[in-house]
Amino acid sequence: MDAQEIKQLIEQGLPDAHVEVRDTTGGGDHFEAVVVSNSFEGKGLVERHQTVYGTLGDAMRERIHALSLTTLTPVQYSNRR
């Protein structure tokens, strides 16, 4: 699995999302992702993460060992910069 494939899966499941994915170890199984989406508005951290995990489906269980997530609304993302 590579970062681009994870990015594509998340973008397919959350079409409005801005997604950045990085392989943190170079081994293709540990990643970190920043996902920015309007759909996170009003949702708690757990619900946001569950939404992203849902876009990854079986890959999350079978191919990705670790995924560190930062999930933000567009306003939160712009305030962070």
**Beta carbons of 40 and 71 less than 8 angstroms apart:** yes
Domains along the chain with CATH numbers: 3-80 (3.30.300.90)
Using CB atoms within 10 Å of the CB of residue 1, give its burial: 0 to 12 exposed, 13 to 18 middle, 19+ buried. Answer: middle
Give the pTM. 0.92
Q: Is the pLDDT of residue 78 over 70?
A: yes
**pLDDT band at residue 31 under the 50/70/90 scheme:** very high
Q: Is the pLDDT of residue 81 over 70?
A: no
